[in-house]
Structure 1
Amino acid sequence: MVARTTTSLWDRFAAFDPGLVRLASALGAVLGTAATLAVLTALRVPETALVVGGFTAMTTSLAVGDLHPRNRFVTLGLGVPLSLASLAAGAALTPYPTAAKLVFLMVIHLAVQARRFGPRGLGLGIFGFMAFLLSQFTQARVDRLPLFGASVLVAFGAVTIVWCWVGPVTASRALMRLRRTFDVRLHDVLRDTASMIATGQDIDARSRSLQDRLDRLHASVLLIEDFLDERAADEDTEALPAHLGRVEVAAHRLAVLAVRAMRTPAAGNDPAERTARQLLARRIRALRQPTVGTPCAAERWVEGYEGGPANRPTRSALVLDCFPPVDELAEALRVLGPRERPAGRGTPPGKPAPRTFGAPPRGGTDTESLKREATRQAFQVTVASALAIAGGQLLSPHLWYWAVAAAWVVFIKNESTGEVLLQSLRRLAGTGLGVVFGYGLVALVGGDGPVLLALLLLCMFGMFYTPSHAYWAVTFFITGTLGMLLALMDTFSTHVLLLRVQETALGVSCGILAAVLVLPTTVRRAGDAELVGFLQVLDRLLRTVAAGSTGTEIPTSRVRAAHDLDRALESFRRACLPLTHPLNPQRRRRHRVRHLLELLETGAYHARSLAAAAERLPADHVPECATRLAAAAARAHETVTHLIRVTGRRSASASRTARPTVVRALSRLSEEQRVSRDRPSPEYRLLLHVERLHVALTALVQALDPLASDPDRTTAVSSERTDIPLPPGPIRAAAAAVSCRALADRCERA
């Protein structure tokens, strides 16, 4: 009983922190800093050297964000000479304040330019920036450079030993942790689905909760795929993304059909209806067992599973529709197996997907565009830092670097003016709350050194363990850590804390000013760029599915293409975060962007299902169906092409139209018309998802261009029994020439 409770609590913890990535980072920062301080204290170094060593140890966890253990050590190894060089440059220029500030601006510019190389470039930029900032904070001199350099080396060595010796994480162990997260989040989805079916009450609230569970499950799949991207594919992991995607699609389809069945009025007093729901709920609860068990437990579960048409109830067609997805999910879980056994074993090796195909990084559609975005932001951050240096010098000649740090941080992983504004407000709010928190702790503790050190390490743990999307909380713990550090150095005072708030306000103001005046990028422009990227990746996926259905050699796997599409959707969601934030006063724009996200999530679900169904398409499928599928994919391709054109020239007057009604993607999917088939064939499933993807795309056309007036541009989508407006030209001609319902029936008869 105790072991089961402990396992359950640990699973809850793993679900909150996918792969225990934040926990590992926080423990590495705390233990690495503690080990560094212990070694330097034993060597009886001065207090300033202690600050250098502890700050460097903390910076390593801030800069190294690779998922794969090997890549962490590579980034750490590159950070050692870069930190030493930056620290030496800052120490050499300390006697010359003007030259030091000018070189600091150059370091900032180069650090931001390094972001064009991806996460590792971002980490190396942090190493260079923090080392130069440290030299200014400690007023390092050339004569003390050997001591400070030794402290830096001790910090890197201590962090390396902590990573290697205290809780070593291998690639297989890290992957097992990520699998645990997937298992627990799938458990949550199945539990909520079964509970909703069994009770049949509060469907709206339960569907919203279920949508959040599905989003977390999807995030865990993306995290596993990102981890596998950082390592070479082998026999044990090559098929894992496809198996995980199949399980996720089956679970999502089950949730959609369950919500549809529960929202449809049924005979509540009908005993057969209640029996069917209870039986379905029991089947779903049974699916929760193999995901967290051992191989033997999984095999016993498969043998005892009572699925199949012979054991289904005979009433309630909508409830009956939920039984085939349960069987599909059971089969997908059997193929996936428990997390102790890699899913790739027993799977025929396939051709590995090339790494050249994929969604582009945020801010560009190719390498050249990414370089341009990094250069643009480098100029913005440099100008903001220059303003912060000038203003910070007026506020405090000795603590001006606080303003520079605030101006530099608000641009990290942000591109548009709205993102910088939102990050600045979070930074300022966290600093203000952290000042109050730090002052209260220091007042309670007094001058007790060991207690202050323990509180410092505790605040540092909170800084790294807090999720990055709660940036105000991260800043809160950063300010608390600074308060404890000032108390340990006997420089703590109310004036210093108030100066911290003033310098932060100055820094974020300079950042906002630079974002507005220097090569500005609006939220709409950034969102449109990401939307175009999403549509381009969707077009590649459609062409990949069409090519695979006709037997043509495809450039990449469909699972990989679906992963790239999900990443593009995440980029669009982050780019539009300032508009969808609850504090956004423009309610009309907020609803419109949320409506766009709802349509894109619906389309992404059908694209994901399309990729999963295409991967399982038999080699001897009907040639005629392949031709029709290619025609349907071409029809969707025409709509995507039109959407890309519409996105680049949207009218600003569209914001004055009526505010759309926003629902979650799960609710929209559950409103799609029921397919009266027990178990559709793979060919029919492909055609169905292409058709419904096209419905979502045409609805997206109307959402992006709601004022366009063309009474003739309609097409009858028979599966939905609704008229969806389409743009004029070849799309309408293709829509009139192809009827997916008729094609699907012909494929079924074939």
Structure 2
Amino acid sequence: MRGRAWVGELRTWVTGVDPGLGRLRLAGVAVAAMVLAVAIMSVVRVVSGRPITVVLFAAVLAMISNLAVNEPAAGRRAATTALMIPPAAAAIVVGTLLSAHKLVSDIVFVLVMMLAVYIRRFGPRGMALGMALFMPYFFTQFLQARPAELPWLLIAALAGIGSTLLLRCWVFAEKPEKVLDRLLRATVAHVHAVAAAVIDVLEAPADDRPDIDRALAVLHRRRVRLNDTMLLVVDRIEQRSGDEPVADDRRLSLEVADLELAAERLAVATRRLADDPTRPGALDPELRRSMIAGVRGIVAATATGAPPGLRSTALDGARRAVDALVAEHSGVRPREQRVAFAVTRLADALEAEGRIPEPVGTALEDLADEEPRPGREPDRISLSTRQAVQVGVATSLAIVAGELISPARWYWAVVAAFVVFAGTASRGDVLTRGGQRLLGTVGGVVAGMVLAFLVGGHVIATLVLLAVCVFLALYLVRISTALMAFWITAVLALLYGLLGQFSVETLVLRVVETAVGGALGGLAGFLVLPKHTRAAFRDALDDTVAAVDACLDAAVDRITGRPPVDSPVELAREVDEQLGILRARAKPLDNPLPRRHGRGSYQRALRVLTAVDHYARALALASERLDVPEWAPTLDPAAARVRANIAALGGLLRPDGRGSDRQASKSPARYGTDGQGADGQGADGQGADGQGAEPDVESAEQVVDEAESWASTCDSAPLRRELLGAIRLLRRIDQVVVGFAGDLSGTAPDPDRAPGTPVRH
């Protein structure tokens, strides 16, 4: 790749790497706020003769107030930032007055940290106010503040938080229409990346399995990024629309979802072609060239900055490249033909996206406890309460251990013990986060020593490097805990060099204190009110299965003319969100599923549920175009059986080996049955007597066939295609679920098994 093509690829990559430029805005505005706060307090320092610590205090609060405030709406963001001032002032007053009383101040410090974690239950605002309590109190202890310094510390807090309020909420306030436009461009850029990865898969030599697997892994990562960006777009549209979205916004949401789904279909079809055991040596070179040419047309059309005329020409070329394969009726190359269909569909979706009108105006992680779902048995102890107790124990031990290691640097151990609980829900999460922080700290020590040596105490060079390191730390904070710790440690090394206190021993001490604090945090997570990693996975799994069930239920309601409780498309988005949570909960779990004799693993379970999510979203989107009440007598039983299978699969996957007690289907009375499958089991996996018998997965082929037979008799050809497409999606969900259930139970699916025969475990 060279010349203009290389520049175009770079521009497209830049567009997609930070959707909506959210991370860039966060880092840029935070650094600007820190500079403003430093400038203000430097003037105050010259006038008052105060030490440089008041300047650093203002800079830190400017950074924290940017990181901690994660409200989506501009008004709430400004209000939450302003509301940080009273708790910050209270923490400064209490911390300063108690700093001379070591034991009392340490006890109050632990209580402050527990309160800061507990109020996270109140959502993003609770998270921000908790940090406004913790960080100022911490600095009063770190600086050993005295009552005489209290007015200047209060001014520093006002300068730090006020700088953020001024710059983030007014001077550089987000313009919703511009943010949405950037997110839409990023979505197209990620479609471009998916299409480019598809080409790599198609071009991989058929006999080079490692090369194919690497290309498929890249394709999977790019699909996940596209999905994440699509969710950001929908979030932004909802923020703009409020409670009653206008028609244009609703259409925009549907078209973006359709675009993402079309790109996913191309990726899935390509993966199936690559995994076809008959592929080596069997893929006709001409077919390969036509498929690659079609996808290259998609790549050209989605390059950032492509002129509208070139884009239209490229999409037409993509369709023409696969026309012959699309029109083929022999049925001898079904997998290749599905790729061709997917190319055509994605080209159509991109044309629809191109007709979207220009949008018009109208994080630290959210650690709030989730509201219990209907039918969900809540934990006896909420996440925020559990973590508040764990933080209290961990930080108490960290204060003691930190003091024993270094009375002057004890605070590093306390901070490490405190922050490992941010964004965690299980003891495995705590260990993962603690390990990442330690890894980043070790790397940051090395980088900090190199940087401090290079600048050699030169003030201007050090200040420039400080700004760069702080920017990188804030830009990467939402990507990696390790990278955040890396750059913050480098900042500390430069600061010590600037203050004339740099030493290798100090940085090594930081590593030791961080390791001790992280270990104590992990120990508290394991021993104090532990939330087992598998239990967290189980809860997230139950929520995901329940979300899929609700989405399918609403989609079938809409298709058959019954008003759904919620929009199927909105429920499909909730499935995406729950799947994201499940994916995060599975990260610490790399070992095979416990007590499973089949070929299951947590990652395979995620792949299966990702496929279910894909088909469920497609069905939700199709339901927006269908209204066929007369289909209900055959579609309802098929949907009921598929939903029952999903619930039963959830029971099979649960690490405790029991079926979920939190998934309850709607009353099956309307389906014209007694709510039991052919084997006498209810849709929720319980026996007819309600005694919680182990769930069976029963193939829905027979009832799906009946629904498909009815759809095939529809007189209208366009409507018939829509109906057959919808029932095909339901069939795909069932096939994925039944196949995986067979693997888990150690019984491979038997293609000759009569429909209605349950897969037992």
Structure 1 residue 457, shift from structure 2 partner: 1.5
Is the Cα–Cα contact under 8 Å of residues 37 and 58 in structure 2 kept in the other structure?
yes
TM-score for both structures, normalised by structure 2:
0.80
Is the Cα–Cα contact under 8 Å of residues 298 and 314 in structure 2 kept in the other structure?
no
Residues 188-203 of structure 1: pairs in structure 2 closer than 5 A: 188-194=193-199, 196-197=201-202, 201=206, 203=212
Structure 1 residue 330, shift from structure 2 partner: 2.6
Given the alignment of the two structures, is residue 281 of structure 1 paired with residue 292 of structure 2, yes or no?
Answer: yes
Is the Cα–Cα contact under 8 Å of residues 417 and 520 in structure 2 kept in the other structure?
yes
Give 2:640's aligned amino acid.
A
User: Which of 243, 246, 257 is the aligned partner of 2:269?
Assistant: 257
Structure 2 Cα separation of the partners of residues 611 and 361 of structure 1: 28
Given the alignment of the two structures, is residue 499 of structure 1 paired with residue 535 of structure 2, yes or no?
Answer: no
Give 2:144's aligned amino acid.
Q
Please give the per-residue CA displacement for 1:610-635, whole angstroms capped at 9, x wherever unaligned: 22222232x3x4x4533322211100
Mean Cα deviation higher: 694-703 or 247-256: 694-703
Given the alignment of the two structures, is residue 600 of structure 1 paired with residue 640 of structure 2, yes or no?
Answer: no
Given the alignment of the two structures, is residue 697 of structure 1 paired with residue 697 of structure 2, yes or no?
Answer: no
SS at match of 1:169: coil
The answer for the alignment partner of 2:436 in structure 1 is: 426
CA separation of 1:370 and 1:136: change in aligned 2, threshold 3 A: farther
Is the Cα–Cα contact under 8 Å of residues 180 and 359 in structure 2 kept in the other structure?
no
Structure 1 Cα separation of the partners of residues 449 and 657 of structure 2: 51
Give 2:150's aligned amino acid.
L
The answer for the alignment partner of 2:759 in structure 1 is: 726
SS at match of 2:601: helix
Structure 1 Cα separation of the partners of residues 93 and 309 of structure 2: 60
Is the Cα–Cα contact under 8 Å of residues 318 and 347 in structure 2 kept in the other structure?
no
For structure 2, which runs of at least 5 residues remain unmatched after alignment? 659-707
Is the Cα–Cα contact under 8 Å of residues 25 and 464 in structure 1 kept in the other structure?
yes
The answer for the alignment partner of 2:183 in structure 1 is: 178
Give 1:492's aligned amino acid.
F
Structure 1 residue 11, shift from structure 2 partner: 3.0
Given the alignment of the two structures, is residue 115 of structure 1 paired with residue 132 of structure 2, yes or no?
Answer: no
The answer for the alignment partner of 2:95 in structure 1 is: 90
Structure 1 Cα separation of the partners of residues 460 and 734 of structure 2: 64
Structure 2 Cα separation of the partners of residues 578 and 97 of structure 1: 38
User: Which of 573, 595, 599 is the aligned partner of 2:583?
Assistant: 573
Aligned residues: 679
Is the Cα–Cα contact under 8 Å of residues 294 and 322 in structure 2 kept in the other structure?
no
Give 1:283's aligned amino acid.
G
Residues 442-591 of structure 1: pairs in structure 2 closer than 5 A: 442-466=452-476, 468-580=478-590
Is the Cα–Cα contact under 8 Å of residues 54 and 155 in structure 1 kept in the other structure?
yes
State the identity as a percent.
Answer: 30
SS at match of 1:578: coil
Is the Cα–Cα contact under 8 Å of residues 598 and 743 in structure 2 kept in the other structure?
no
The answer for the alignment partner of 1:331 in structure 2 is: 348
Structure 1 residue 194, shift from structure 2 partner: 4.1
Give 1:13's aligned amino acid.
V
Structure 1 residue 490, shift from structure 2 partner: 3.0
Is the Cα–Cα contact under 8 Å of residues 19 and 178 in structure 1 kept in the other structure?
yes
Structure 2 Cα separation of the partners of residues 610 and 438 of structure 1: 53
Structure 1 residue 699, shift from structure 2 partner: 3.9
Give 1:410's aligned amino acid.
V
SS at match of 1:456: helix
Give 2:732's aligned amino acid.
R
Give 1:323's aligned amino acid.
A
TM-score for both structures, normalised by structure 1:
0.81
User: Which of 320, 333, 336 is the aligned partner of 1:317?
Assistant: 333
The answer for the alignment partner of 1:743 in structure 2 is: none
Is the Cα–Cα contact under 8 Å of residues 8 and 305 in structure 2 kept in the other structure?
no
Structure 1 Cα separation of the partners of residues 253 and 380 of structure 2: 27
CA separation of 1:321 and 1:288: change in aligned 2, threshold 3 A: same
Give 1:214's aligned amino acid.
R
Is the Cα–Cα contact under 8 Å of residues 389 and 404 in structure 1 kept in the other structure?
yes
Give 1:35's aligned amino acid.
L
Is the Cα–Cα contact under 8 Å of residues 290 and 298 in structure 1 kept in the other structure?
yes
Structure 2 Cα separation of the partners of residues 199 and 648 of structure 1: 37
Give 1:419's aligned amino acid.
D
SS at match of 1:561: helix
Give 1:625's aligned amino acid.
W
Is the Cα–Cα contact under 8 Å of residues 434 and 478 in structure 1 kept in the other structure?
yes
User: Which of 213, 222, 235 is the aligned partner of 2:222?
Assistant: 213
Please give the per-residue CA displacement for 1:613-667, whole angstroms capped at 9, x wherever unaligned: 22232x3x4x453332221110022223334544567349xxxxxxxxxxxxxxx
Structure 1 Cα separation of the partners of residues 596 and 648 of structure 2: 28
Structure 2 Cα separation of the partners of residues 500 and 95 of structure 1: 25
Structure 2 Cα separation of the partners of residues 130 and 483 of structure 1: 20
Structure 2 Cα separation of the partners of residues 214 and 724 of structure 1: 35
Structure 2 Cα separation of the partners of residues 461 and 402 of structure 1: 21
Is the Cα–Cα contact under 8 Å of residues 195 and 295 in structure 2 kept in the other structure?
yes
CA separation of 1:558 and 1:293: change in aligned 2, threshold 3 A: farther
Is the Cα–Cα contact under 8 Å of residues 194 and 223 in structure 2 kept in the other structure?
yes
Structure 1 residue 528, shift from structure 2 partner: 0.8
Please give the per-residue CA displacement for 1:366-390, whole angstroms capped at 9, x wherever unaligned: 7965971211111111111111112
Structure 2 Cα separation of the partners of residues 576 and 129 of structure 1: 30
Mean Cα deviation higher: 522-531 or 59-68: 59-68
Structure 2 Cα separation of the partners of residues 164 and 7 of structure 1: 34
Is the Cα–Cα contact under 8 Å of residues 363 and 415 in structure 1 kept in the other structure?
no
Structure 1 residue 306, shift from structure 2 partner: 7.8
Structure 1 residue 580, shift from structure 2 partner: 2.8
The answer for the alignment partner of 1:28 in structure 2 is: 29
Structure 1 Cα separation of the partners of residues 184 and 754 of structure 2: 41
Is the Cα–Cα contact under 8 Å of residues 269 and 338 in structure 2 kept in the other structure?
yes
The answer for the alignment partner of 2:69 in structure 1 is: 64
Mean Cα deviation higher: 314-323 or 515-524: 314-323
Structure 2 Cα separation of the partners of residues 522 and 262 of structure 1: 38
Structure 1 residue 230, shift from structure 2 partner: 3.9
User: Which of 233, 241, 257 is the aligned partner of 2:253?
Assistant: 241
Give 1:641's aligned amino acid.
A
For structure 1, which runs of at least 5 residues remain unmatched after alignment? 346-358, 653-674, 729-750
Give 2:348's aligned amino acid.
E
Structure 1 residue 187, shift from structure 2 partner: 0.9
SS at match of 1:113: helix
Give 2:23's aligned amino acid.
R
Structure 1 residue 581, shift from structure 2 partner: 8.8
CA separation of 1:508 and 1:258: change in aligned 2, threshold 3 A: closer
Give 2:547's aligned amino acid.
V
Given the alignment of the two structures, is residue 642 of structure 1 paired with residue 652 of structure 2, yes or no?
Answer: no
Is the Cα–Cα contact under 8 Å of residues 261 and 618 in structure 2 kept in the other structure?
yes
Structure 2 Cα separation of the partners of residues 98 and 476 of structure 1: 32
Please give the per-residue CA displacement for 1:283-314, whole angstroms capped at 9, x wherever unaligned: 33333455446895489549956848995256
Structure 2 Cα separation of the partners of residues 589 and 343 of structure 1: 53
Structure 1 residue 537, shift from structure 2 partner: 0.9
Structure 2 Cα separation of the partners of residues 650 and 84 of structure 1: 47
Structure 2 Cα separation of the partners of residues 33 and 646 of structure 1: 52
Structure 1 Cα separation of the partners of residues 248 and 751 of structure 2: 43
Structure 2 Cα separation of the partners of residues 441 and 360 of structure 1: 39
CA separation of 1:15 and 1:157: change in aligned 2, threshold 3 A: same
